[in-house]
Amino acid sequence: MLSETFAFGDSAIHRLDPRLRVVFAGLLSILTAILNRFPAVIFAVFLALVLIGASRLPVRQVLARLAVVNGLVLFIWLILPWTFEGTPVVEIGPLVGSWEGIRLCALITLKSNAIILALIALVATMPVATLGYALHHLHLPDKLVYLLLMTYRYIFVIETEYQQLARAARIRCFKPGTNLHTYKTYAYMVGMLFVRASARAQRVHQAMVCRGFSGKFYCLHEFAFKSSDWAWSSAMGISLIVLGGLEWAPIV
């Protein structure tokens, strides 16, 4: 369900302080999302590609993940150019494609790919648990951090329970079809999953209480900011400034 294929490695990016990676990924994504000029957006894509290169992830698998995002982007290309008001450039029957629509589509495509690539390089390269502790050290509220960590822990248990239910149905010759029986069966399964998840949440809480839990979480993990982290953070800072400059510097 969650394979964390990219989480373990020994590249320069994998060795970076997770806090730095999370902060930079956040800033870069936000900045990229509000860009409007092509040189800036292209620079953002370039930055993302540099990060992917430095993380030494298998290209094929990264492309496979990009395909998912670009599947959605494809729908934007199918709709937006024909519905966006502006200077007409193409005409197919009653459909008129506008220059502004095409420009917007291109921007969205580049931006979303840049953000996803940056997140893959910076955030997918750490285990979910590490991400949780990094967020904890960045002073995200405890409740949110532990919500993330426990979701991660129990998503596998819930998946196993779903598999059990699905198997139980299959061994009694259940074949999904387009009929009320199928809908009902799936509704029961989902309902049963909710019931089990809530019962489990209660038992987990009881087990925690038995071990002295009183609402406060403690974190075992400490991160150390190394000299290489300082070098990377300056490079990251400069690249963000360049990105901002490309977007907001007055055109001469």
Partner 1 sequence: MGADRLVIDLENISFAYPDGRDVLSGLSFKLDKGARAGLIGPNGSGKTTLLHMIMGLIPPSEGAIRLFGREMRSEKDFHESRKNIGLVFQNPDDQLFSPTVLEDVAFGPLNLGASPEEARDIAVKTLKDLHLTGFEDRISYRLSGGEKKLVALATVLAMNPAVLVMDEPTTGLDEKTNDRIVSILNTLDKTLLIVSHEYNFLARTTDDFYGIRDGQIFYAGESATLHTHYHAHAAGEVPHKHI
By CB under 8 A, name the binding residues for partner 1: 127-129, 132, 149-150, 152-154, 156-157, 200, 203-204, 206-214, 216, 218-220, 222
Minimum Å gap between C-beta 132 and partner 1 is 8
How many helices and strands (H and E) does the chain possess? 9, 2
Query: For the chain, what is the radius of gyration of the CA atoms?
Result: 24
How far apart CA 57 and CA 71 sit, in angstroms, is 22
Q: Which is nearer to partner 1, 175 or 216 (CB)?
A: 216
Q: Which is nearer to partner 1, 118 or 131 (CB)?
A: 131
Minimum Å gap between C-beta 185 and partner 1 is 26
Minimum Å gap between C-beta 163 and partner 1 is 14
Minimum Å gap between C-beta 153 and partner 1 is 6
DSSP string, 197-238: HHHHHHHHHHHHHHTT--S-----------HHHHHHHHHHHH
How far apart CA 7 and CA 113 sit, in angstroms, is 20
Q: Which is nearer to partner 1, 92 or 220 (CB)?
A: 220
What does the angle CA 5 – CA 60 – CA 50 come to, to the nearest 5 degrees?
A: 85
Minimum Å gap between C-beta 63 and partner 1 is 28
Minimum Å gap between C-beta 156 and partner 1 is 5
Q: Which is nearer to partner 1, 72 or 159 (CB)?
A: 159
Q: Which is nearer to partner 1, 94 or 212 (CB)?
A: 212
Q: Which is nearer to partner 1, 175 or 211 (CB)?
A: 211
Q: Which residue type occupies 172?
A: R
**Beta strands, E only, the chain:** 88-92, 95-98
DSSP 48: H
Determine phi and psi for 38, rounding to 5 degrees. -65, -45
Q: Which is nearer to partner 1, 65 or 200 (CB)?
A: 200
Minimum Å gap between C-beta 215 and partner 1 is 10
Three-state DSSP state, 90: strand
How far apart CA 174 and CA 164 sit, in angstroms, is 13
How far apart CA 163 and CA 141 sit, in angstroms, is 33
